[in-house]
Amino acid sequence: MNITELILKIKRRLWSNLVKYTRRKKIYPYIYKSYWHFKFFPNATVLNRINYYTAVPNPGAGIGHQLANYISGYWFSKQFGLEFAHMPFAQEKWERFFGFGENETSAKNLINEHGFKQILLPLFDESNSDEIELIKNIIASFHGQKVVFVAEQDQSYRDQFGVINDIKNKFYHANARKKDKLIYSNEQFNIAIHVRRGDIVVGQKNKKSNLLMRWQDNEYFTKVLSALIDQFEVNKPIAIYLFSQGEVADFSIFRKFENIQFCLDMNAQDSFLHMVYADLLITSKSSFSYKPALLSNGIKVCPKDFWHGYPKCNQWILVEKDGSISKVELEKLQQFDSIIN
């Protein structure tokens, strides 16, 4: 890391700490230049000019988190009547994987080559009408200027499925799809299970609350899997693929299921891809399997108690904390003979 990168990293850390300290205080908006612009220029002249909104994928976060940032930016650009501008992910390989950047307006290009100003917006609670109104007023105060509005880092958007049709279109038409390789067989009904481990295993020992809330033991997943297998009959052999981290011995309870493969050394992109293309995906409390579920055209079985929302449709089957599935949820499977058989 050179001195310039180090200085930028220190500045980002200091700013992040300031945001965390002031976020729930009345003074919070005051730390933004965009807020003061609104205060001094509340009645801007409206001109026929297109402005943009973007969000920066958090470079220090996992790909599920970064994808949430991207989706949040895409969603709120529509809510505020702005065009979406693309900010690159930390790793270019994920850009190509999702098809992001293809046929999208580049925020950096607008700023560096077309004279657009980069304006940082305060964080806002999407359920708080006063905070939403403030953001709209700030945006309105810049009418007539060439602006790319940038969401504060990790701006929250709970129901990530709001623009999923657009995201799916980018994914399925990406150039990367031409190189996809799957270990699945079309002659089998392929079930993928994501069991989140890695960081949350350490969290159980350290008793960190944000990691404790993400923990689900092996018994949860075996209970879910058994309930599903008992519920439906398929004309194809069932193949089960478990995606996680660790050793096979850590998942010995799953050996009671026939034709199961432990995908513990598969890289992140291949694991993500297989979860997307599974006939049935059992997710964990993790953005890393929630995001493939959003992109999947198959059946998704997910924990009911999760921090993102789910579409209200039969493809989404919600599971209780103890791994039980209600009769109403299980009955949704009857709608999917075409997938199951």
User: One digit per residue, pLDDT tens: the chain, 341 residues?
Assistant: 688 778 888 898 999 999 999 999 999 999 999 999 999 987 655 555 689 999 999 988 889 999 999 999 999 999 999 999 999 998 899 999 999 988 899 999 999 999 999 999 999 999 999 999 999 999 999 988 999 999 999 999 999 999 999 999 999 999 989 999 999 999 999 999 999 875 544 444 545 555 445 557 899 999 999 999 888 777 889 999 999 988 899 999 999 998 999 999 999 999 999 999 999 999 999 889 999 999 999 999 999 988 888 998 899 999 999 999 999 998 888 777 656 66
Query: From residue 205, how far is each of 160, 202, 209, 212 by CA, in Å?
Result: 31, 5, 11, 9
Q: What is the H or E stretch that residue 281 is in?
A: strand 280-282
Query: Rounded to whole angstroms, how far apart are CA atoms 336 and 232?
Result: 10
Tokens 């994914």 sit on residue: 171
Query: From residue 60, how far is each of 107, 109, 175, 177, 280 by CA, in Å?
Result: 20, 23, 26, 26, 31
Query: Rounded to whole angstroms, how far apart are CA atoms 288 and 265?
Result: 16
pTM of the model: 0.88
Q: What is the largest CA-CA distance in the chain?
A: 69
According to CATH, the topology of domain 189-340 is Rossmann fold (3.40.50)
Q: 106 - beta bridge partners?
A: 86
Q: Which of 219, 227, 164 is nearest to 191 (CA)?
A: 227
Domain with CATH 3.40.50.2000 in the chain: 189-340
Render 179-230 in DSSP notation, one character per residue: G------TTSEEEEEE---THHHHHHHHT-HHHHTT---HHHHHHHHHHHHH
